[in-house]
């Protein structure tokens, strides 16, 4: 497994850059990954989705939630989710939240 340093912390990542140990994640890492993904700032709406995904993954044995699970669990519509995390929201949220790539994502 590869490692990289994000926000001053060395973490384990896979070939696609997803963290492989969500326990290594913290909010500073989330902010740093968000900047890499093109987000200047994470709003309360972003954090609502990120926090839900982390809580959901803990209940799902570490698996990232699907787009449908995110919209259902947060009450954020698909349209709003795409506005918050353009071009592949489930995948982007998973990266920022320190989770693995969601199943079914290309």
Looking at residue 12, the DSSP 8-state letter turns out to be E
C-alpha–C-alpha distance, residues 101 and 14, integer Å: 10
Active site residue 105: yes
From the candidates 8, 29, 105, 106, which is the catalytic residue? 105
Token readout for 41 is 């700032």
C-alpha–C-alpha distance, residues 101 and 74, integer Å: 19
Looking at residue 39, the DSSP 8-state letter turns out to be -
Quick check: helix, strand or coil at residue 41? coil
The catalytic residue positions are: 105
């Amino acid at each position: 497994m590869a490692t990289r340093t994000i926000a001053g912390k060395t973490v384990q990542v896979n070939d696609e850059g997803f963290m492989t140990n969500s326990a290594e994640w913290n909010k500073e890492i989330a902010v740093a990954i968000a900047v890499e993904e093109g987000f200047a700032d994470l709003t309360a709406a972003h954090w609502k989705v990120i926090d839900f995904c982390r809580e959901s993954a803990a209940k799902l044995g570490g698996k990232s939630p699907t787009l449908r699970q995110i919209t259902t669990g947060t009450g954020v519509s698909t349209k709003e989710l795409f506005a918050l995390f353009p071009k592949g929201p489930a995948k982007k949220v998973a990266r920022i939240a320190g989770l693995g790539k969601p199943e079914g994502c290309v």
